Chain A
Amino acid sequence: MFNAFRDELRQIWSDKCYLALLTLLPMLSLLFFTLFFANTAIESLPIAVVDNDHSTTSRKIVEMIDATPSVYVTYSALDTAEAERLITSGRVYAALIIPHDFERKIVRQESTELVLCNNGTNISTNGFIEKDIQQVVATLSAAILLKHGESLADILPIRIEQHTLFNSSLDYAAYLTPCFMPMMIMIFSILGTVMATTKRKLKSIKQLIGRSLPTTLSMTIVAMVMLLLIFRHLQTPLAGNIWIIILATIVLIIDYQAIALFLVALTADRHLAISLGGGYSVLAFTFSGLTFPTMAMFPILRFMSYLFPFTYYMKIMVEQALRGAPIGVSLTNLGYMILFALAPILIYKRL
């Protein structure tokens, strides 16, 4: 086993591409996500305003909207058609239309309305803009009614005291990096293992393990760097137990190595094994349910999500990093992950 290990190290050293995929490329991918998510607080999304009123009140509401954290008024359009052109040419995400009798109606204590045309093709910008403008309108509306002598209980009978239990900073980076970075580890674990086991004929299980070991070690080191980046540099909250996360990360590497072996045995072809393995690891993201909940998928696709170790890994990440859940909850998921490591046994004979 040790001989095979040493032999494999020599192979890695002499093959530039193999060496890169175990060291340079994974580090580069981690660097990419670190830089990309360095500052993702959404600020200043450009919107246009069509002010048909040109009054003090309309200018005031535009100022208030401009002052919100995410919205930034960059254009004032003449009419709705021009505003729509600004949206379709990608210069603004939304347009706010102020009616010509806006101030007059407020003075006369009549109800008036603002129209917001908000681009729905990007649901994240849509949500931020909607939320901020809604808040400004509600605040201003309440202030006007109070001035008119209405009581707060009539304007807003029920108030909500909001608590965000987990990931309370609502941070995009905290939410996405613990997902994207492990995916890189998965991809390179598969690639490394396929490279190690398809070059020359394998003689024994010991030799197989010896050859796969450099990938395991190198990926474990990369994974530790990854955890440092996630929890120290990007300051993702760590509410639970770090040891469970470390353990799960190592199991994740071994899982994907096992899956690589499974594919190699199944296809007996290096390029096919790499293609299938790559596809399998990229798809894992969609099926982990982090962005689009598996709950909302069709049953057969929801079932498919259980076929990716990554799904369980993400659950452990969310439970331990963001929620600080009891360890017992995560141990079950860790158990499922360990089952995947047994995948090669299914086709042991073909190896």
Chain B
Amino acid sequence: MLVLLFAPLIYTILYSSAYAKQIATEVPIAIIDHSQSHSSRELISMFGASPYIDIRYQPTDMQEAKSLFMNGDIYGIVYIPNNYDRCAARNEQRWISLYLDASYFLMYRQVFAGVAGTVSSIHNVTPAIELRSHTLYNPALGYGTFIMPAVLLVILQQTALMGIGMVGALQRRLRYKPMIAIASKTFVYSTIYAVLCSYIFVIHYHIFGYPESGEIWRVVVVIISYMLAVIMLASALSTLFRRVEEPLIYIIWSSIPVLLLSGASLPVEAFPQWMHTIGLLLPSSSAVPAFVRVQSMGATLTEVAPELVRLWVLTLLYTALYINKVSERFSSLGYPLPPKGDIHTLL
């Protein structure tokens, strides 16, 4: 019960809160101005206007700037050489240096965007070709909007694998005929997840302001297809566990690999194809791209059809495995035994 219901709630709230601000603005940098001229001060004030960066320090030399860097006080250094003003006066190209730190990627990106964006906006003739970029579906490029839909789905899957696995390990003895047991269990889990998903995808989504471009019934179809595949996979796996701690031990470490395999953070083009193919056995690998496209991008169901088909194939596959395993045990036991390690101790 704890794992099934409270763990997903606590995780979703904590993760979403951590990413609630979505973007890093005003990343601290330092500027070394060796020109000390009118034109260099003009440039600095333009940098100051950029929302991405904040000129926190103006050290006199590189040594001082580097020590600020090492202490983690700043994430970039702009160096304006002393010939800057002279070149500006003679209308020659002038150079500035930018020192960046790629050990924190998001900071790197913001500093680069702030400095390079400001500099490229300065020109005396209109460019021949201008690139007008539209960022679709996540215009602010928010980190939460990017990663949270995937994280939410993976949390649901992983906690289901553990929770249902723990219940399965407790209920090794059968009380009812296999088909009745399977049907009733699936029904109970579906009800639990219907409630949980309604909270996550309606209330939670609303509180944190994640994009809801999808029509509600399409989102519901994707979520139902996903959760059924998850419940059946979890039930099939639960027949393998003998002790209550086993599902925890075998599954707890896999959350990050599962998230990576879904291609949500690093695109599928960036990791081995065969790993992605094997990963398709996990419901999350199909559901994450389908859900992101339907919910964040407003795709239609035909546009996510390949993913939906894969989810239903997985559901059938895992249901077959589950039924097979349960009836095998039923026939080997002969007649159902009275319950012993009761489920109520867990619930």
Q: Which residues of A contact B (CB under 8 A)?
A: 17, 20-21, 25, 29, 32-33, 35-46, 85, 87-90, 93, 106, 109, 111-127, 130, 133-134, 137-138, 140-142, 144-145, 148, 150-168, 170, 172, 175, 180, 183-184, 187-188, 191, 195, 270-272, 274-275, 278-279, 282-283, 285-287, 289-293, 295-298, 301, 315, 318-319, 322-323, 325-326, 329
- A167 lies within 8 A of B21 (CB): no
User: Is B323 positioned at the interface, with any CB of A under 8 Å from its CB?
Assistant: no
> A329: which of B70, B93, B138 is its contact (CB, 8 Å)?
B70
Q: Tell me whether A318 and B103 are in contact in the complex, defined as CB-CB below 8 angstroms, given that A113-B131, A160-B96 are known contacts.
A: yes
- Chain B positions within 8 Å of A117 at CB level: 134, 136
CB distance from A156 to the nearest CB of B (A): 6
- B71 lies within 8 A of A329 (CB): yes
User: Is B338 positioned at the interface, with any CB of A under 8 Å from its CB?
Assistant: no
Q: Tell me whether A297 and B253 are in contact in the complex, defined as CB-CB below 8 angstroms, given that A122-B146, A141-B127 are known contacts.
A: no
- A274 lies within 8 A of B252 (CB): yes
What CA separation (Å) do A85 and B138 show in the bound complex? Answer: 17
What CA separation (Å) do A40 and B218 show in the bound complex? Answer: 34
User: Is B256 positioned at the interface, with any CB of A under 8 Å from its CB?
Assistant: yes
What CA separation (Å) do A145 and B103 show in the bound complex? Answer: 37
- Chain B positions within 8 Å of A120 at CB level: 135-139, 141, 145-146
Q: Which residues of B contact A (CB under 8 A)?
A: 2-3, 7, 10-11, 14-15, 17-21, 23-25, 27, 43, 69-72, 88, 91-109, 115-116, 119-120, 122-139, 141, 143, 145-146, 149, 162, 166, 243-246, 248-250, 252-257, 260, 264-267, 269-272, 275, 289, 292-293, 296-300, 303-304
- A166 lies within 8 A of B131 (CB): no
- A88 lies within 8 A of B250 (CB): no
> B303: which of A89, A188, A322 is its contact (CB, 8 Å)?
A89
Return the chain A residue nearest B260 by Cβ.
Answer: A36
What CA separation (Å) do A12 and B96 show in the bound complex? Answer: 62
> A159: which of B93, B149, B304 is its contact (CB, 8 Å)?
B93
- B129 lies within 8 A of A125 (CB): no
What CA separation (Å) do A21 and B254 show in the bound complex? Answer: 13
CB distance from B34 to the nearest CB of A (A): 14
What CA separation (Å) do A20 and B250 show in the bound complex? Answer: 9
Q: Tell me whether A157 and B128 are in contact in the complex, defined as CB-CB below 8 angstroms, given that A119-B297, A163-B99, A163-B100 are known contacts.
A: no
- Chain A positions within 8 Å of B125 at CB level: 145, 150, 154-155
- B18 lies within 8 A of A158 (CB): no
- A293 lies within 8 A of B271 (CB): no
What CA separation (Å) do A298 and B139 show in the bound complex? Answer: 22
- A296 lies within 8 A of B248 (CB): no
Sample 6 A-B pairs with CB under 8 A, ordered by A number: A88-B298, A88-B299, A88-B303, A156-B123, A191-B252, A271-B248
Q: Tell me whether A285 and B297 are in contact in the complex, defined as CB-CB below 8 angstroms, given that A39-B272, A115-B132 are known contacts.
A: no
- Chain B positions within 8 Å of A295 at CB level: 24, 27
Count CB-based A-B contacts (< 8 Å). 306
What CA separation (Å) do A160 and B100 show in the bound complex? Answer: 12
- B122 lies within 8 A of A271 (CB): no
> B2: which of A43, A125, A275, A318 is its contact (CB, 8 Å)?
A275
Q: Tell me whether A124 and B275 are in contact in the complex, defined as CB-CB below 8 angstroms, given that A116-B132, A159-B94, A160-B119 are known contacts.
A: no
- Chain A positions within 8 Å of B265 at CB level: 122, 124
Q: Tell me whether A175 and B105 are in contact in the complex, defined as CB-CB below 8 angstroms, given that A118-B134, A278-B248, A297-B21 are known contacts.
A: yes
- B100 lies within 8 A of A165 (CB): yes
- Chain B positions within 8 Å of A329 at CB level: 70-71
- Chain B positions within 8 Å of A133 at CB level: 131
- B70 lies within 8 A of A325 (CB): yes
CB distance from B75 to the nearest CB of A (A): 9
- B271 lies within 8 A of A37 (CB): yes
What CA separation (Å) do A142 and B128 show in the bound complex? Answer: 7
CB distance from B116 to the nearest CB of A (A): 6
> B130: which of A113, A124, A155, A279 is its contact (CB, 8 Å)?
A113
What CA separation (Å) do A328 and B78 show in the bound complex? Answer: 26
- Chain A positions within 8 Å of B115 at CB level: 160
What CA separation (Å) do A194 and B124 show in the bound complex? Answer: 68
Return the chain A residue nearest B17 by Cβ.
Answer: A301
What CA separation (Å) do A172 and B143 show in the bound complex? Answer: 17
Q: Tell me whether A134 and B131 are in contact in the complex, defined as CB-CB below 8 angstroms, given that A152-B93, A165-B101 are known contacts.
A: yes
What CA separation (Å) do A123 and B120 show in the bound complex? Answer: 22
- A191 lies within 8 A of B275 (CB): no
- A123 lies within 8 A of B143 (CB): yes
What CA separation (Å) do A245 and B86 show in the bound complex? Answer: 48
- The 9 lowest CB-CB distance pairs between A and B, nearest first, are A120-B138, A89-B303, A296-B24, A88-B299, A144-B128, A278-B252, A154-B124, A120-B135, A167-B102
